Structure formats: structure tokens, C-alpha cells
Amino acid sequence: MTMKVVGQRVKRYDGMAHVTGETRFVDDVIVPGTLTIKAFRSPVAKGNIKDLDTSAAEAMPGVAGVITAEDVPCNAYGLVPDQPVLVEKAVRYKGEPIAAVAAVDEDTAVEAINKIKLDIEEEKPVFDPLEAMKPDAPKVRPEGNVFMFGERPFRQIILGDVEEGFKKADIIVENEYLHPSLEHAQLEPQASLAVPDAGGKLTIYTVSQALYFHLGQLLGILQMEPDKVQCKQWAPRTGSSWRHNAGFSDINYVGGTVGGGFGAKNDIHADHVTALLALKTGQPCKWRWTREEDLLYSTFRGAWRMTIKDGITKDGRIVARQIKSIRDAGAYSTLNFYVVDKHSFLAAGPYFIENVYVQGYCVYTNKPPASSMRGFGITPATFATEVQIDKIATQLGMDPWEIRFVNAFRKGEHTATRRVVNSVALVEVMQKLAEKAGVDLPDKLMTMTSTERG
């Protein structure tokens, strides 16, 4: 039987629309009478709002609507619903949205934003996660600056006994690795268009990479019925904005065409605000972030500080690996805790190590919230562990290739979380890689296989 797709080169299903310019991204959807949205953002990184006066903006000709925290039925969202759509009192990062304006055009919207008066009591912010972890640090969040993974202030992974492992080791290699924050810089900025339909329903054109997550959260934010009070109280893990009375049919959520995401669009950035303003004004509302806003205030890959301590025997086997990682989460949980989870589960690398101890911390600071980016927390871990392997090789006087071959997963072995790996080919991949790179590896490495540990 000849396969139509398997083993064949298949053209992109949307490729033809891309090369003819027909692909319609969110900002390309044009609905007559659409209002332009601009946000009023906090000028300080930490503070307490004393007074917010939007009356001058509201009175301006051409302004159709202004919203503040008061207009948000359930002002807490996220997987752990801790992030307000618009700040009510406590500002946690510079640029955090406090109000939003919908006006006939961009010039009017910007002018209206400039007329909003804010009286804010500035407080001392904390930017460094290490500082934020100290007991007397300024509180980013009332419940504390360190995310609680259940009862522990860190995600803990234990396999075997690292202390016993270190005793068996011939050398110990310990290093600290820093990974800076990174911006996705996807070419399509955050954008959203909400169009009110008859009967209070909405059509929202979204850049979301996580349609159903976001649809659920939006229904929570917009809920018009009970639980209003309860939902404003933040409770760990038991999401309130997940509970909603509106049905999925109340929002026609149109997505799937994303002009680059890379994780930048796994959190709601604009859909909640366009939805609220569309409901308030009864008119279509569009919010396209400027590139500057996107770079400064959208989510990004948070910074990491990782300490790795390895115990290695003379033959290059890693017999114990201890990792302490600290993730700079910014002001809200977003997907940060999931990022730390994935990091902790896989930080030991694609190597079979019998004794592993990982502590993954997720620490709040007064910066814009970090969140997902390609590979979640695994990519920074890979950077750190692979540099660590090169350092081990130098210290042992061994070829770094050999360290990787000697420790690579073999079929039937397991990860630090005791997940048995059955489909493994790291040894073979490295052999192929060496071949392609023109690296002449010794026979003892080229004859190894993933099926058995030699």
C-alpha cells in the first residue's frame, strides 16, 4: 500500500493562504464601527492605589467606555486565579493595567488615557528573587513571596539518596548557572477583537494558543451571576474563575490563526479587556498592543538561577545529582508553577542517575509576570546540565562525548520521577550526530546501544 501522507512531504494546509496574503490574523478582521482600546498602566512597580479618577476621560467626546476593576465581575484569573484583569488596590509591577478606554480612534483613546488621574502610594519593590526570599523582604503578595507546592515552598523530587551517592563518588563538581529572562518577540503582537452579538453574547477573535483554557477563564471572568464575592478571594489551586455560570455557547471564541506564539499566547493578555468593553459599550472593540507594550509587559521566559552538585565516579558515571533551582516568576503565578514542575521533573537530564534530589522554587518579584516559553522550564535546565557535563569532563580529563554516552538512558531505565523509558535512542542519536559533524568517536562509543548498558 502506498501512503499518501506518511513518508511524503506534505505542504502546509495553510501555506497557500500565507503566500497570497489571504490569511486573516486577528488584527486583519475588520468590523465596521470598531472602537480602539488603550490601557492605563501603572507608572510604578509596587504601590497602593489611593484614588483613581476616570471622569475626565469618560466625559471626552469620542470615548465610548472606560473600565476599571469595578467593572470586572470576577477580577481574578489564571490557572491559579491570582491575577486581576485590572488592578483594584495593590499594584505589583510597573505597567500593570489599571483601567482601559474604548474610543472612536487611537488618538482619542490615547488622549483619554492621559486624562486619567491616579493617586498611588508608592512602595518599595523587590526585583531579585534571592532578596524576595528573605523573611523581611517587601511582600509582593500577601500570602508570601514563594509559591507553595502543597505544603512545601518548592517542588521536590527525590530518587534514591544523594548523600549516599556523593559518598560513592570519586569527584564532586558543583556549579551555579544563571539563565536570563527572554522575550518571545513573536511578530504578531498581542491582539484581540470582541464583537457583541444579540442577547449579550460575544464573538471574540483571539490570538490564544490555548483556546479552551482561555475560554473557560473568560467565562469565569465575565460571570454575571453568583459567586461574585467569593471569586474575588484568592485561594490556592481551587480556581474560582474556573467556576462559572455562563455556558460555552455564550462566547463564540474564534482562534487558531496565530502570528507566532512560542508560549507568549498561553496566557490571556487582551481578550478579557476587549470582552468587558464590548459588553459595556455594545460596540465591537479591538485592542492591539504596541510592540513596546508587548516587549515590556507581556509574559516572557522568566530568569533562572540553578545550582548543580554532581557526584561522579572515575569511569564518568554520575552517581548523584543535586539541583536547586530558583525561578523568577514576576508578580503572578500564570503558568510559572507548571514551568517549575516540568523543570524539576526533567532537570536531571536524559541520563540515568540513581540518586537525584531536586528543589524547584518559584519566587514572586515586582516584575511583569513571566510564563511559558518553548520547552517551559526544561530548556534552561538543559543549558545548565549540558554545560555541567562539559565541566565534569574537564575535571575528569575525559571526552565530554564519553560522559554523555556512559550516562545516557538505556531501555528500561527510569527518570528521576521513576518513569520507565522504553523508547530511547539517545546513544544512536549521538552516534549519528558525531558522524554528521565529522567527529571521529572511539569504537567503544560507536558500538554502544540504547538497548543495553554495557
| Positions that interact with other proteins (CB under 8 A) | 11-12, 14-21, 23-25, 27-28, 30, 110, 184-189, 258-262, 288, 290-291
Give least dist CB 15 to other proteins, A.
Answer: 4
Determine contact, residues 315/64, Cβ cutoff 8 Å.
Answer: no
Of 293 and 341, CB closest to other proteins: 293
Task: In angstroms, give the least distance from the CB of 252 to other proteins.
Answer: 21
C-alpha closest to that of 39 among 118, 98, 90:
98
Nearer to other proteins, 60 or 185 (CB): 185
We find the least distance from the C-beta atom of residue 241 to other proteins, in angstroms, to be 29
Residue 35 or residue 173: which is nearer to other proteins going by CB? 35
Nearer to other proteins, 43 or 226 (CB): 43
Question: Minimum distance from CB of 30 to other proteins (Å)?
Answer: 6
- Whose Cβ is closer to other proteins: residue 209's or residue 450's? 209
Nearer to other proteins (CB atom), residue 110 or residue 158: 110
- What is the b/e burial string over 171-199, where b = at least 16 CB atoms within 10 angstroms of the residue's CB? eebeeebebeebebebebbbbbbbbbeee
Q: Least distance from C-beta 369 to other proteins, angstroms?
A: 21
CB of 401 to other proteins, least distance (A): 26
CB of 40 to other proteins, least distance (A): 15
- Closest CB 111 distance from other proteins, rounded Å: 10
Nearest-5° Cα angle at 232, 68 to 335? 90
Crossing angle for the helix pair 378-396 and 400-407, to the nearest 10 degrees: 120
For residues 1 and 10, which CB has a smaller minimum distance to other proteins in the complex?
10
Residue number, 4 or 418, with CB nearest to other proteins: 4
CA distances from 82 to 5, 138, 339 (A): 45, 18, 17
